[in-house]
A and B are shown apart, each in its own frame.
Chain A
Amino acid sequence: MPSLLTSSSPHIHGANSVPRLMYTVLAALLPALAAYCWFFGPGILVHLGLAYGTALACEALMLRLRGKPLGLFLSDGSCLVSASLLCFAIPSLAPWWLTVIGISFAIVVAKHLYGGLGHNPFNPAMIGYALLLISFPREMTSWLSPTAHSALNLNFSDTVSLIFGTGISAVDAVTMASPLDHMRTELGREHVLSAIVNNRELFGLLGGAGWEWINAMALLGGVFLLWRKIIHWHIPVATLVALLLIAGFFHLLDPARYSDPLLHLFSGATMLGAFFIATDPVSAATTNRGRLYYGAGIGIIIYVVRTWGGYPDGVAFAVLLMNMAAPTLDYFTQPRVFGHGKKD
Chain B
Amino acid sequence: MSKRLFRFNGGLKLADFKTGSTGQPIVQAPIPPQLILPLQQHIGEPAEACVKPGDTVTRGQEIARARGAISASIHASSSGVVHAIEKRQVSHPSGLLAPCVVIDTDGLDRPQQAPVIIGDAYLQQTPDAVRKLVRAGGIVGMGGAGFPTAVKLKPGPEHGVDLLVLNGAECEPYISCDDMLMRERAPAIIAGARVMMHALGARHAVIAVEDNKPQSMQIMAQAIRDSGAENIELRGIPAIYPAGGEKQLIKVLTGIEIPAQALPINAGIVCHNVATAEAVYRVIYQGEGAVSRVVTLTGNVSQELNLDVRYGTPVEFLLRTYGIDPALVAAITIGGPMMGYSLHAIDAPVSKTTNCIIVKQQGAALPFSNHGGTRPCIRCGNCADVCPVNLLPQQLYWHAQSRDFDKVQDFHLFDCIECGCCDYVCPSHLPLVQYYRFAKTEIWAQEREKEKSDLARQRHEFRQFRLEREKAERAARHKQKAAALQAPSAEEAELAKKKAAIAAALERVKARKAQADTKPRNVDNLSPQQRQLIEEVDARRKQNRQQQKPGPEQKNSDTE
19 A-B pairs (CB sep. < 8 Å): A4-B342, A6-B343, A8-B431, A8-B437, A9-B337, A10-B423, A11-B338, A12-B337, A12-B367, A16-B427, A17-B428, A69-B373, A72-B372, A76-B375, A118-B376, A118-B378, A232-B385, A337-B260, A341-B259
Quote the shortest CB–CB distance from B8 to chain A (angstroms): 7
One of B268-276, B325-333, B474-482 at the interface: B325-333
Q: Does B520 contact A (CB under 8 A)?
A: no
Q: Is the CB of A338 within 8 A of B257?
A: yes
Q: Is the CB of B330 within 8 A of A5?
A: yes
A1 to B385, CA, bound (A): 43
A166 to B343, CA, bound (A): 69
Q: Does B128 contact A (CB under 8 A)?
A: no
Q: Is the CB of B391 within 8 A of A337?
A: yes
Quote the shortest CB–CB distance from A138 to chain B (angstroms): 36
Q: Is the CB of B346 within 8 A of A1?
A: yes
Q: Does B433 contact A (CB under 8 A)?
A: yes
Q: Does B155 contact A (CB under 8 A)?
A: no
Which 6 A-B pairs rank lowest in CB-CB distance, beginning with the nearest?
A10-B420, A118-B376, A6-B342, A339-B260, A5-B331, A338-B389
Quote the shortest CB–CB distance from B17 to chain A (angstroms): 10
Q: Is the CB of A281 within 8 A of B380?
A: yes
A131 to B339, CA, bound (A): 49
Q: Is the CB of A8 within 8 A of B433?
A: yes
Q: Is the CB of A286 within 8 A of B379?
A: yes
Q: Does B233 contact A (CB under 8 A)?
A: no
A113 to B369, CA, bound (A): 34
Q: Quick one: which of A4, A10, A335 has the most chain B CB within 10 A?
A: A10
Q: Give the contacting residue for A337; candidates B342, B343, B415, B431; CB below 8 A.
A: B415
Q: Does B371 contact A (CB under 8 A)?
A: yes
A16 to B429, CA, bound (A): 9
A2-53 residues with Cβ-Cβ distance < 8 A to B are: 2, 4-14, 16-18, 20-21
Closest to A283 in B: B379
B342-397 residues with Cβ-Cβ distance < 8 A to A are: 342-347, 358, 360, 367-373, 375-382, 384-385, 388-392, 394-395
Contacts of B326 on A, CB cut-off 8 Å? 2
A233 to B399, CA, bound (A): 27
Contacts of B433 on A, CB cut-off 8 Å? 8-10
Q: Give the contacting residue for A281; candidates B375, B379, B412, B425; CB below 8 A.
A: B379
Q: Given A118-B378, A287-B392, A7 and B368 touching (CB < 8 A)? A: yes
Q: Does B109 contact A (CB under 8 A)?
A: no
A286 to B383, CA, bound (A): 10
Q: Does A205 contact B (CB under 8 A)?
A: no
Q: Is the CB of B338 within 8 A of A12?
A: yes
Quote the shortest CB–CB distance from A111 to chain B (angstroms): 11
Contacts of A341 on B, CB cut-off 8 Å? 259
- Tell me the B residues contacting A by CB distance below 8 Å: 8-9, 14, 95, 173, 247, 251, 257-260, 262, 326-327, 329-333, 337-347, 358, 360, 367-373, 375-382, 384-385, 388-392, 394-395, 411-412, 415, 418, 420, 423-429, 431, 433-434, 437
Contacts of B391 on A, CB cut-off 8 Å? 337
A281 to B382, CA, bound (A): 10
Q: Does A117 contact B (CB under 8 A)?
A: yes
Q: Give the contacting residue for B344; candidates A6, A117, A336; CB below 8 A.
A: A6
Contacts of B347 on A, CB cut-off 8 Å? 1
Q: Is the CB of A13 within 8 A of B373?
A: no
Q: Does A248 contact B (CB under 8 A)?
A: no
Contacts of B384 on A, CB cut-off 8 Å? 286-288, 335
A337 to B8, CA, bound (A): 11
Closest to A21 in B: B427
Q: Is the CB of B368 within 8 A of A9?
A: no
A22 to B423, CA, bound (A): 19
Closest to B360 in A: A5
Q: Is the CB of B389 within 8 A of A6?
A: no
Contacts of A11 on B, CB cut-off 8 Å? 333, 337-338, 340, 342, 358, 367-368
A290 to B211, CA, bound (A): 35
A21 to B379, CA, bound (A): 12
A340 to B414, CA, bound (A): 12
A158 to B262, CA, bound (A): 74
A116 to B377, CA, bound (A): 11
Contacts of A76 on B, CB cut-off 8 Å? 375
A288 to B387, CA, bound (A): 13
Q: Given A18-B427, A338-B390, A12 and B368 touching (CB < 8 A)? A: yes
Quote the shortest CB–CB distance from A10 to chain B (angstroms): 3
Q: Given A10-B339, A334-B392, A339 and B371 touching (CB < 8 A)? A: no
Q: Given A4-B346, A339-B415, A21 and B257 touching (CB < 8 A)? A: no
